[in-house]
Amino acid sequence: MRISVIGCGYLGVVHAAAMAELGHQVVGIDVDAVKIARLDAGLPTFFEPGLPEILASSIASGRLRFTTDVSAVSEAEVHFVAVGTPQTAGSDAADMTFVDAAFSSLIAHVKPGDLIVGKSTVPVGTAARLAEQIAASAPDVTLAWNPEFLREGFAVQDTIRPDRLVYGVPDGAAGERAARILDEVYAATVAAGTPVIVADYATAELVKVSANAFLATKISFINAMAEIAEATGADVTKLADAIGHDNRIGRRFLNAGVGFGGGCLPKDIRAFSARARELGKGEAIAFLDEMDKINLRRRARVVELVSDALGGDVTGKRVAMLGLAFKPHSDDVRDSPAIDVALRLTEEGAHVVATDPQAIESARLRAPHLTYVSSAEEALRDADAVVLVTEWPEFVALDPVDTAAIVAGRRIVDGRNSLDPAAWRAAGWQYAGLGR
């Protein structure tokens, strides 16, 4: 099929390359000329395992190209919109200016019979509003909403083999046709047994934000238990193991630590709350505001633990920060707990020396005044305290005895509860985790 993808960020570029990998003819479009030049040369604009390979092979085969010229959508009949929906400055609501601009420019170039497919995460009610706009200016064009659930770090496999596909479509023949076209786009995925849920627009939009709300709640729940564990001497990691054996609860996403971050969960739960308030239903999901607060409190707690380890004053102390990305296997530092913790410690007078296997360049753009070094060994050298904030395998695998020989003071704060406290303590370290 001939496909266009408007917006080539984390979601869009993976989607474009994955669709080409599935055999479609794809054009990726973005307003950022620098990004497009890199992508068109086959160079990824961020770190994502597996992306360089499918980008290079799709471009070499001639199935994928990139341009800033939105009129290129006229080469395609299915148009995915994957532009950003960040948090609005000074408000919890999603900033819809990119979606609105993308739809306006796209509608000017679509042809009768085309299908527009929204992939961005949007406030419920957006698709219905945009469908009206399309009906007014391009009446033979249908809109579907097909939310994306990919996880950064696993984005390629999640796009090609997702847990499920959700199609939000209008009622009647247009909706049935839209679902058939999407089945064709995802033919290989559907043939592999991926469940497909066909729903109305509002349900499809809500599936995405409610999935994120659930995941955020699960993480914040265990972090709330960590707060109680800290006050009582209990161990939240054992508690999580024990309750996780109940398969109604499950162990995944029950790791207490510095909390969630990234370009999705924090802004999505805030936008969901803002939208619910607009709908007069703020009360129904008021608990999400509490989840957000629990999450942010954990960042403050990590700063407190570093300070406690250093006798209550971090001024002039060298703190090695292991990790910058909001999670391992990604270079994404949007709303990263690590950056937050690093900035707070710096504000309190510490000299933070940070490292990350992939995220130094993206972190430097957000926090230019931090000190960055390219290896854990350099960060650890002469450190008065160490704080692990992103559980990259190489950090988790650090040997406590070898590490002790490099640092100035054996103090470690394990912001992800991913180290073995007994092994670190046995090597003479003062170890602090969260809720354990």
Which parts of this chain interact with ligand NAD (CB under 6 A)?
Answer: 6-12, 29-32, 35, 82-85, 98, 101-102, 105, 120-121, 148, 150, 152, 263-264
> Any bridge partners for residue 432, and if so which?
413
Respond yes or no: is residue 264 known to be catalytic.
Answer: yes
**Shortest Cβ distance from residue 83 to ligand NAD (Å)?**
4
CA distance 393 to 413: 17
**Shortest Cβ distance from residue 177 to ligand NAD (Å)?**
25
**Shortest Cβ distance from residue 107 to ligand NAD (Å)?**
12
CA distance 333 to 161: 26
Which residue lies nearer to ligand NAD by CB, 248 or 252? 252
CA distance 183 to 167: 9
Cα 40 vs. chain centroid, distance in angstroms?
A: 24
Which one, of 98, 122, 110, 97, lies nearest residue 201 by Cα? 122
Which residue lies nearer to ligand NAD by CB, 267 or 317? 267
**Shortest Cβ distance from residue 67 to ligand NAD (Å)?**
11
> Any bridge partners for residue 355, and if so which?
322
Which residue lies nearer to ligand NAD by CB, 259 or 433? 259
**Shortest Cβ distance from residue 11 to ligand NAD (Å)?**
4
**Residue 412 in tokens:** 């470690």
What Cα–Cα distance (Å) separates residue 401 from each residue in 353, 374, 405, 407, 424? Answer: 21, 22, 7, 11, 8
Which residue lies nearer to ligand NAD by CB, 196 or 408? 196
Catalytic residue among 216, 239, 254, 264: 264
**Shortest Cβ distance from residue 57 to ligand NAD (Å)?**
21
CA distance 172 to 239: 50
Pairing relationship of beta strands 351-355 and 371-372 according to DSSP bridges: parallel
Which residue lies nearer to ligand NAD by CB, 69 or 347? 69
**Secondary structure (DSSP) of 305-365:** HHHHHTTT--TT-EEEEE--SSSTT----TT-HHHHHHHHHHHTT-EEEEE-SS-HHHHHH
Which one, of 65, 55, 67, 77, lies nearest residue 185 by Cα? 77
Would you say 274 and 251 are in contact if contact means Cβ atoms under 8 Å apart? no
Which residue lies nearer to ligand NAD by CB, 50 or 433? 50
Residues involved in catalysis: 264
